[in-house]
Amino acid sequence: MIFFLFSKVSAENAYSLKKMSSEKKEEACIISEEAISDFKEKKEEVLKLKKQIEEKEKELADREKVITEEMNKLEELRKTIEGISEVKKKESESRIAKLVETVEKMSPKSAGKLLASVDLGLAVEVSKRMDTVKLAKILNGVDASKVAKISERLTLWRVKKEKEKEKKKETKKGGEHASYIYINSKKLKSKS
C-alpha cells in the first residue's frame, strides 16, 4: 500500500510537472516568438544598413574611378602642355639666336633701328646675348628712353645672375667650412 500511495503521489506529481512544463513551454514559446520577432526586425535593419553601406561603397568606388580617370587626363594634359611649352621655348631661343646673329652682322645704325622697333623684352633678350662692345655701338643710335629701359633690365638681370653665383659660392664655402670644422673637431678629440 505504501508503494501504491507512493506511486499515486508520484503519478500526481508527474502530471502536475507535465502541466507546469507545458505552461512554461507555452510561456517560453511566447517569449521566444517575441524574441524571434525582435530578432527578425533587427536582422532586417542590419540587412538594410548593410545594403546601404554596400551602395555607398559602390558609389565611392565609382567616384574614385572617375577621379582617377580625371587625374590621369590632367596628367596627360600637363605633359602635353609641358611638351608644347618646351617646343615653344626652343623655337623662341632659336629665333632669338638667329636675331642676335643678324643684329651682330648689321651696321650699328641699322641694328639700332631694329632694336628700337622690337618689343622691349625681345630687345633685352637680344642684348643679353650680344658682345658688350657691339651692343654699345648699336645702342648709340637708339632713342635714349628705350636705351634706358633696356639698360635697366640688363642691369637687373646681371645683378640677379651675380646673386645666384654668390649663393652657389656660399653654398660651396658653407659645405667646405662645415667639413673643415668637422675635421678639426675630430683632430681635437683624437688629441685629448
Query: Per residue in 145-173, pLDDT tens?
Result: 888 998 899 889 889 988 888 888 877 76
> 1 in a domain, yes or no?
no
> 58 in a domain, yes or no?
yes
CA distance 17 to 9: 12
The answer to whether residues 32 and 95 belong to one domain is yes
> 51 in a domain, yes or no?
yes
Q: Which residue, of 71, 90, 105, is where some domain finishes?
A: 105
The answer to whether residues 91 and 129 belong to one domain is no
> 33 in a domain, yes or no?
yes
> 45 in a domain, yes or no?
yes
> 142 in a domain, yes or no?
yes
Helix (H, G, I), strand (E, B) or coil at 169: helix
The answer to whether residues 51 and 36 belong to one domain is yes
Q: Which residue, of 85, 105, 125, is where some domain finishes?
A: 105
Number of domains the chain is built from: 2
The pairs formed by 112-116 with CB atoms below 8 angstroms and a separation of 24 or more are: 112/138, 112/139, 112/140, 112/141, 112/142, 113/141, 113/142, 115/139, 115/142, 115/146, 115/150, 116/142, 116/143, 116/146
> 192 in a domain, yes or no?
no
The pairs formed by 125-130 with CB atoms below 8 angstroms and a separation of 24 or more are: 125/96, 126/96, 126/99, 126/100, 127/154, 128/154, 128/157, 129/96, 129/97, 129/100, 130/100, 130/103, 130/104
pLDDT of residue 131: 87
Q: Position of cell 502536475?
A: 16
The answer to whether residues 32 and 101 belong to one domain is yes
The answer to whether residues 84 and 55 belong to one domain is yes
The answer to whether residues 97 and 116 belong to one domain is no
> 127 in a domain, yes or no?
yes
The answer to whether residues 55 and 38 belong to one domain is yes
CA distance 173 to 175: 5
pLDDT of residue 3: 44
pLDDT of residue 13: 54
CA distance 74 to 68: 10
Q: Considering the entire predicted model, what is its pTM?
A: 0.48
pLDDT of residue 46: 93
Give the residue from 160, 152, 104 showing the smallest Cα distance to 131. 104
Q: Which residue, of 105, 134, 149, is where some domain finishes?
A: 105
pLDDT of residue 61: 94
- Residues of the chain below pLDDT 50: 1-9, 28, 178, 182, 184, 192
The answer to whether residues 98 and 135 belong to one domain is no
The answer to whether residues 65 and 113 belong to one domain is no
Neighbour tally for 44: CB within 10 Å: 10
The answer to whether residues 118 and 75 belong to one domain is no
Q: Which domain holds residue 32?
A: 28-105
The answer to whether residues 137 and 86 belong to one domain is no
The answer to whether residues 159 and 121 belong to one domain is yes
Q: Position of cell 508503494?
A: 3
pLDDT of residue 51: 94
